[in-house]
Every structure is written in structure tokens, then in C-alpha cells.
Amino acid sequence: MNNLFRALNDATRREILELLKDGDMTAGEIADKFDMSKPSISHHLDLLRQADLVASVKKGQFIFYSLNMTVIDDIMVWFMQFKPSAQAEKPRIRLHVGKEAQ
């Protein structure tokens, strides 16, 4: 899980994940969206892959990256355990009806 949080701790890597939510992209297509070197983008993609947040498939001379939804679903389940239940979230309102209110 440390690799996961390390990967999510960087704005560029989070932006790459946002790009991939719309579909698979090649490394070059991802790199074109950023003002940084291709080796830097490659490093970010490698960290995302190590954290299992993205999967990569080589097709010919291109490597296509996609979101690994299984890991993302696991993260969501893990985070949801910290959310209070719906019953606990409802504020309790007590009305005090006295002579002033009549």
C-alpha cells in the first residue's frame, strides 16, 4: 500500500490517472499533455505501474496505458470504511415546545 500512496502523492501522476479515465493512451499521447520530458513522464508511468494503478500493454511499437480499476475499487472500499454510516451522519434535532412557541 506504500507504493500506492507514494504514487498518488504527486500531482502529475494524479493528472495522468485523470487522463486515463477517458480511455487508454500511449505513452506519447500522455507525454504530449505535459510540459516535461518524455523520460520524466516515463518515470511517472513506471511508479503508477509499480503501484498497480495502471496497466501497460505493448502493441507494435507503442505501449498503451490503462487504469487498473480493480486496484481503484479496492482503494475506494478501503477509504469507505472510514466514512460514518448514514444513520450516524444525520443530525438529531430536538424541538423544545414550550409556552413561548404556542
For residue 10, give the C-alpha cell: 504527486
What confidence tens digit (pLDDT) does each residue in 28-83 have? 999 999 999 999 999 999 999 999 999 999 999 999 999 999 988 998 898 899 88
Domains with residue ranges and CATH for the chain? 2-72 (1.10.10.10)
Per the rule left: phi > 0, alpha: psi between -120 and 50, beta: everything else, 96 is: beta
Whole-angstrom Cα Rg for the chain = 22
C-alpha cell at 30: 500522455
